[in-house]
Structure 1
């Protein structure tokens, strides 16, 4: 069977990647629309955004027009020819939001009282968003939106606390389409400002060759070590995570290089795919850019984006440390060597030739720390990424590549854009019916008012939603429904939102629907389920750390002294060694199943920042390590006797 390319694999796993590829006149039309879209976004970033509803309407209009031109109604339709129905829907997709631009003053004067024309346009707009969501994001997200829409009407017949007075169609459409609490709410507002610019920034960084530079640097740093290619996958995926917000895209990008290297070295194909899946999924957790949901979190929590970056730093480092330790122990268990140094690139040569490409990333961190808004920081970084590419002939971007960057950025935002618009429908129903607080109360009742069961049910909700809903929409739903329950129990709001954010992301490696693991297995030729199980083992930190920072927010730098922060980080790292040893079944010698349980318990207690658990965990791990040392001596002695 012919192996699929990275692009073919992406199209199979992510509806967002399955687009038409036009040639000739239509290709030029698409390019012109996409470039105009990017220019509008850059113009408003430079000279000031429009009024909220106007900015978001233009953003949605461009997005819907492009979606209906690029994504066919049916998968069986031609990928290089525009169907008349999609052309009509594209025109309507641009016209429905344009109605708000044209009638803005009149709509403001009417203050929410909508007429028959408004009603028709509003219904059309909602339907167009739902259909666009089906094409780009997939059926699961559409089903969630439709369930909430249905709830708006059947509320009077709902049982118990879920009942509400009910809404008329006119009330619902007026709220969803003609206010900033529905489709044109905060999620689309963030998409039309911060997210677009960061995606455009990522498009230009990719065009400069920064991704290949990251892989080469990772090779130079870690390729020679035990299990070198696996460590290269972890390091390069962590670096790529600073500019990529998609687990599957990250797997396809770096995995097409690292997974064959891991298999060649001797890693089993199921483990090789799992390494890349776990590492790539962590990319959405890695500052400074993270996934698109991080920008929404800043708005929902009401803190500067820099606070989100600070809070995410230590948990993200612990996550990647856990994956790194896991691949190291697997390499030691199977005696897998690294790549000979003479076959690897030299780090100092790479930095000399292409190190300047990383300058925009350094600058964007500096600007965020200096108090710049994310939008201004991303804007400067975009221009700087183009400028630094000109410093060397080998990295210099041609004028046509700069223009293509505008086109790629506009196309790259479509998935997030329509997910945000669709999430706005959910938020609109929640705010109009008050179901958010009701569901939070129901969650508290189900858990008996206890913190641990509440966190467990919240985790299940986020993971189940994450099996079919993108991270951005997943976060919007869980932060609206589940996070308030944690806040009601006295958990800091940032910790509560970070909790649901983590589990929405980790769904990408959680079987049975683990898209990043599917992508990894598609490249490795392994079993998708086994790859997902291995990826979950490697990503064990992501399943545990959220519980820890909710119980003790010191890892999020919330009210943390330097001493407490250093100690919590150190003990958590030691705990990760214990947990990884338990998952892999090896530390310096094979571990007996009973000992694996002890390693797991000791590691778990060390990850918990509490002093008593640190003491107990350290005692357990010390005993386990001593027994490992004697077992290793026995194995070596037996080898000598032979």
Structure 2
């Protein structure tokens, strides 16, 4: 997300704050169904048009057309025109949608004009918010839909008139005003508000202090703090690079001071922050989109994502610990760490909102948005009851407005992703591309998964994770399902590799942000990041062939997968770092890496594989550390 925001003053600043506050307030009104209870029927598309209007107008007010103009304290005349145009278009759709929907099949001048202006405004807002990448994708999709009939072969499309193309994408239910924007306007807005309120009343500091108190003095303590805190913040923020910029400013210098190299400190923070995007219960809100697309409860998605995410963080944690052991890195030696007892007391008020959120979401089966609002309400009540958390009325208003500003970026990206989805739906490229990928792979599931992984990483570079998932699940997902991969595994596979674009060179945004903080070479940092995140690159292939890793199967199969996964990650981490309480020889490292891979990929064939991996870990530990004279057998210093 671009940070070129105008420092507005006076009435413009007040107007912008009021409009920003209206963004989450509109979500609360819609989700709580206040208007229908009053006898006023509101179509979903009417609400989405109103919500998008607020986001467009707010973008033109606060984000300048060029970075060079970011010091403007007022809104220039041309942006005033864009604000008025956005309000006019949104108002027309919001108030006239009841009549528009009855004549949606008829092409009229007013629909074409409204749609054309709306698409242009959306693309300009996306350019200001995120640069040219998403705009380029949208323009390619529109161009393909309009000019595709001039192509030949599998990419040839039927003739689609410009008027029909514009109306379908801006006024229809399967494009801009479709599922992606709906999830952003309800679920994402609700969870962003929950996160902002939680941080306002000191929840962020309480979590950070607890992480430092719990892990700070352990071996390699600051790195373990980075893993723990970045996991939580990344899950809520939905932005890997934003999470690095927030937590990395504190954790990276601390890691460097205790002995981690610049490159490794930056790599650890980048990986830990990126992993938060796939970590339940929030999963950066993308998990809610997955549930919408699959038509299943979100609880099913969150439970399915649990084992892979925990194995991911176990791998990072173990490597961090082993790196510290190999290089003699101790914990934080300063006396400025918070006390564990006080930190536990301070975090209790933060646990209550999360308990309410999880209870309503997983036990009462409330909608995700309603559960998030419950968590927000509990947070506010707790903060009012405790003097050290209590805020002024102005503070609560400001946090609502700040939440609205944070939602705008995601909503604009989801709307553009909806535009791309609409174009793909009109042309039928999604299904034809799936057929081509299957043909290209020759029916080989392994080869198709390889093509899909590479395609997901490439298409996800420079694109926000939510938009990446939406586009990839339309383009790549059907091909995986066609060769026999179940729907949930296919969606999770696409989600994982789209997320990994933040770590994979050459466009590894999370790594670049971390490297800039640590002042380390970006590509070398990316190399270490790939090693720390190795499980994230392996686990999608693993759960495709063994759905037990996604909690799909009998309890015995799930238990086998869990045990094999933990032991496999242990073996793999030790082999990659080259340390298991003492340096390991090259031969032993190769053996451990190979055994770890076997445990992960073949555990589903038999319990014997899991037992072999467990036995190997026990034997290696006893052989290496059974007595002082055996400690050096088979070991060699590792560079």
Q: TM-score range by the shorter chain?
A: over 0.9
Which of the numbers 382, 385, 391 marks the counterpart of 1:391?
385
> Structure 1 residues 48 and 580 mapped into 2: Cα distance closer, same or farther (>3 Å)?
farther
Q: Which residue of 1 aligns with 2:38?
A: none
Distance in 2, matches of 1:423 and 1:292, equals 15
Distance in 2, matches of 1:417 and 1:631, equals 61
Q: Which residue of 1 aligns with 2:570?
A: 577
Correspondence 1:352 to 2:338: no
Correspondence 1:41 to 2:35: no
Q: Which moved more, 1:574-583 or 1:59-68?
A: 574-583
Residues 487-526 of structure 1 aligned to structure 2 (within 5 Å):
487-526=481-520
> Helix, strand or coil for the counterpart of 1:122?
helix
Q: Which moved more, 1:491-500 or 1:529-538?
A: 529-538
Residues 115-156 of structure 1: per-residue CA shift (max 9 Å, x gap): 112111111111111111111122121111111111112222
Displacement of 1:446 in angstroms is 1.3
Question: What 5-or-longer segments of structure 2 have no aligned partner?
Answer: 36-41
TM-score normalised per structure 2: 0.93
Q: Which residue of 2 aligns with 1:251?
A: 244
Q: Which residue of 1 aligns with 2:6?
A: 20
Displacement of 1:187 in angstroms is 0.5
Q: Which residue of 2 aligns with 1:444?
A: 438
Displacement of 1:299 in angstroms is 0.7
Q: Which residue of 1 aligns with 2:209?
A: 216
Which of the numbers 537, 543, 552 marks the counterpart of 1:549?
543
Correspondence 1:408 to 2:394: no
Distance in 1, matches of 2:372 and 2:544, equals 31
Which of the numbers 373, 380, 385 marks the counterpart of 1:379?
373
| RMSD between superposed Cα atoms in Å | 2.2
Displacement of 1:390 in angstroms is 2.1
Distance in 2, matches of 1:244 and 1:111, equals 38
Q: Which residue of 1 aligns with 2:39?
A: none
Which of the numbers 51, 56, 61 marks the counterpart of 1:64?
56
Correspondence 1:481 to 2:475: yes
Is the 8 Å Cα contact of residues 56 and 184 (structure 1) preserved in structure 2? yes
Q: Which residue of 2 aligns with 1:7?
A: none
Displacement of 1:620 in angstroms is 6.3
> Structure 1 residues 329 and 180 mapped into 2: Cα distance closer, same or farther (>3 Å)?
same
Which of the numbers 536, 556, 567 marks the counterpart of 1:563?
556
Distance in 1, matches of 2:218 and 2:285, equals 34
Q: Which moved more, 1:194-203 or 1:74-83?
A: 74-83
Is the 8 Å Cα contact of residues 23 and 80 (structure 1) preserved in structure 2? no
Residues 151-170 of structure 1 aligned to structure 2 (within 5 Å):
151-170=144-163
Displacement of 1:633 in angstroms is 4.5
Displacement of 1:623 in angstroms is 6.8
Correspondence 1:79 to 2:71: yes
Is the 8 Å Cα contact of residues 287 and 301 (structure 2) preserved in structure 1? yes
Distance in 1, matches of 2:391 and 2:599, equals 49
Distance in 1, matches of 2:256 and 2:214, equals 20
> Structure 1 residues 547 and 374 mapped into 2: Cα distance closer, same or farther (>3 Å)?
same
Is the 8 Å Cα contact of residues 47 and 94 (structure 2) preserved in structure 1? no
Residues 161-310 of structure 1 aligned to structure 2 (within 5 Å):
161-310=154-303
Q: Which residue of 2 aligns with 1:367?
A: 360
Q: Which residue of 2 aligns with 1:10?
A: none
> Structure 1 residues 146 and 448 mapped into 2: Cα distance closer, same or farther (>3 Å)?
same
Q: Which residue of 1 aligns with 2:129?
A: 136
Distance in 1, matches of 2:578 and 2:595, equals 14
Displacement of 1:595 in angstroms is 3.6
> Structure 1 residues 541 and 26 mapped into 2: Cα distance closer, same or farther (>3 Å)?
same
Is the 8 Å Cα contact of residues 563 and 610 (structure 2) preserved in structure 1? no
> Structure 1 residues 48 and 491 mapped into 2: Cα distance closer, same or farther (>3 Å)?
farther
Question: What 5-or-longer segments of structure 1 have no aligned partner?
Answer: 1-13
Is the 8 Å Cα contact of residues 229 and 262 (structure 1) preserved in structure 2? yes
Q: Which residue of 1 aligns with 2:323?
A: 330
Residues 303-352 of structure 1: per-residue CA shift (max 9 Å, x gap): 11111111111111111101100100110110111124965322221222
> Structure 1 residues 60 and 631 mapped into 2: Cα distance closer, same or farther (>3 Å)?
farther
Displacement of 1:83 in angstroms is 2.4
Distance in 2, matches of 1:384 and 1:266, equals 41
> Structure 1 residues 520 and 155 mapped into 2: Cα distance closer, same or farther (>3 Å)?
same
Distance in 1, matches of 2:147 and 2:472, equals 22
Q: Which residue of 2 aligns with 1:426?
A: 420
Displacement of 1:621 in angstroms is 5.5
Distance in 1, matches of 2:72 and 2:586, equals 56
Correspondence 1:453 to 2:451: no
Distance in 2, matches of 1:447 and 1:98, equals 49
> Structure 1 residues 59 and 634 mapped into 2: Cα distance closer, same or farther (>3 Å)?
same
Q: Which residue of 2 aligns with 1:472?
A: 466
Across the two proteins, how many residue pairs are aligned to each other? 624
Displacement of 1:356 in angstroms is 0.7
> Helix, strand or coil for the counterpart of 2:236?
coil
Distance in 2, matches of 1:585 and 1:398, equals 54
Distance in 1, matches of 2:4 and 2:24, equals 21
Is the 8 Å Cα contact of residues 187 and 420 (structure 1) preserved in structure 2? yes
Is the 8 Å Cα contact of residues 604 and 617 (structure 1) preserved in structure 2? no
> Structure 1 residues 288 and 48 mapped into 2: Cα distance closer, same or farther (>3 Å)?
farther
> Structure 1 residues 158 and 597 mapped into 2: Cα distance closer, same or farther (>3 Å)?
farther
Residues 373-394 of structure 1: per-residue CA shift (max 9 Å, x gap): 1121111111111111123221
Displacement of 1:85 in angstroms is 1.8
Distance in 1, matches of 2:32 and 2:303, equals 27
Distance in 2, matches of 1:353 and 1:300, equals 39
Q: Which moved more, 1:76-85 or 1:449-458?
A: 76-85
> Helix, strand or coil for the counterpart of 2:580?
coil
Which of the numbers 411, 423, 436 marks the counterpart of 1:417?
411
> Structure 1 residues 226 and 568 mapped into 2: Cα distance closer, same or farther (>3 Å)?
same
Distance in 2, matches of 1:638 and 1:150, equals 62
> Structure 1 residues 631 and 187 mapped into 2: Cα distance closer, same or farther (>3 Å)?
farther
> Structure 1 residues 313 and 546 mapped into 2: Cα distance closer, same or farther (>3 Å)?
same
